[in-house]
């Protein structure tokens, strides 16, 4: 079964689109497409494209930052739970290099959030509410992506950045133990927020919980 397709290449990097990613976008935007209004459908289309581009730019941020330190990306995949920039080999051991590479993605979302927020203000002042609504949604989405990706959990950018710094101070094993334990707390917090009906957020919490529990098991939990 075809689950992903290559939608193009950017700077030589193949970009793959997972069909689950499309499904998730449609689930989030279906109220716009079922509202029976041409304006609402147009807003939904803008939001879908804007979210896809925002997540792609996030991953390209990692890819281009990696190139600065000689770390190339083999491909980027847009999945149902976000995006993945797959590096061809291990990242540089330098804490600074890893920090720049990991935080380049959230930095892109920061710029997009500020940009969309400014455009929303301009649209509201000009009285163009039809334009303001989808742009405001994209501003909120990029803010959410920024905050979420900075959480101290694997495999999020915040978790990997914290791992790099803790690894330099305490060694890789203890860095993994600390970040994975924090990741379990993050997952539990997301479950609390998601209850009782936020199914997708619950799915993300489950994914984070499993990833961090596995990391903790692989390093031997808190044994010396």
Q: DSSP of 54-77, one letter per residue? A: HHHHHHHHHHHHHHHTT--EEEEE
C-alpha to C-alpha distance for 201 and 190, rounded to whole angstroms: 7
Q: Are the C-beta atoms of residues 123 and 131 closer than 8 Å to each other?
A: yes
Domain edges within the chain: 1-150, 152-224
State pLDDT tens for residues 171-200: 999 999 999 999 999 999 999 999 988 888
Cα separation values, 63 from 14, 75, 77, 79, Å: 11, 9, 12, 17
Please tell me the distance from the alpha carbon of residue 104 to that of residue 47, in angstroms, as a whole number: 23
Q: Is the pTM of this model over 0.75?
A: yes
Residue indicated by tokens 């334009």: 131
Residue 2 has pLDDT above 90, yes or no: no
Measured CA to CA, the distance from residue 199 to residue 151 in angstroms comes to 20
Q: Which residues contact 167 (CB under 8 A, 6 or more apart)?
A: 95, 175
Question: How many helices, marked H, and strands, marked E, lie in the chain?
Answer: 7, 4
Is pLDDT at 220 greater than 80 in this prediction? Answer: no
List the one residue out of 75, 202, 98, 112 whose CA is nearest residue 159.
98
Residue 36 gets which letter from DSSP? S
Q: Is the pLDDT of residue 1 over 70?
A: no
């Amino acid at each position: 079964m075809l689950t992903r397709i290559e939608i193009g290449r950017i700077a030589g990097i193949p970009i793959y689109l997972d069909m689950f990613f499309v499904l998730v976008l449609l689930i989030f935007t279906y109220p716009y497409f079922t509202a029976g209004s041409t304006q609402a459908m147009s807003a939904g289309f803008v939001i879908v494209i804007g979210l896809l581009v925002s997540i792609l730019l996030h991953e390209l941020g990692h890819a281009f930052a990696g190139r600065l330190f000689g770390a190339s990306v083999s491909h980027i995949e847009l999945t149902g739970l976000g995006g993945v920039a797959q590096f061809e080999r291990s990242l540089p051991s330098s804490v600074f290099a890893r920090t720049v590479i990991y935080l380049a993605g959230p930095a892109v979302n920061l710029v997009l959030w500020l940009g969309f927020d400014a455009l929303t203000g301009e649209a509201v002042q000009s009285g163009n509410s039809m334009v303001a609504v989808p742009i405001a949604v994209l501003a909120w989405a990029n803010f959410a992506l920024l905050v979420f990706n900075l959480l101290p959990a694997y495999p999020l950018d915040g978790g990997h950045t914290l791992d790099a710094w803790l690894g330099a101070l305490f060694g890789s094993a203890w860095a993994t133990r600390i970040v994975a334990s924090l990741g379990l707390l993050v997952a539990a917090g997301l479950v609390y927020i998601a209850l009782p009906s936020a199914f997708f957020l619950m799915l993300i919490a489950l994914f984070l919980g499993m990833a961090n529990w596995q990391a903790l098991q692989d390093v031997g939990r808190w044994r010396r």
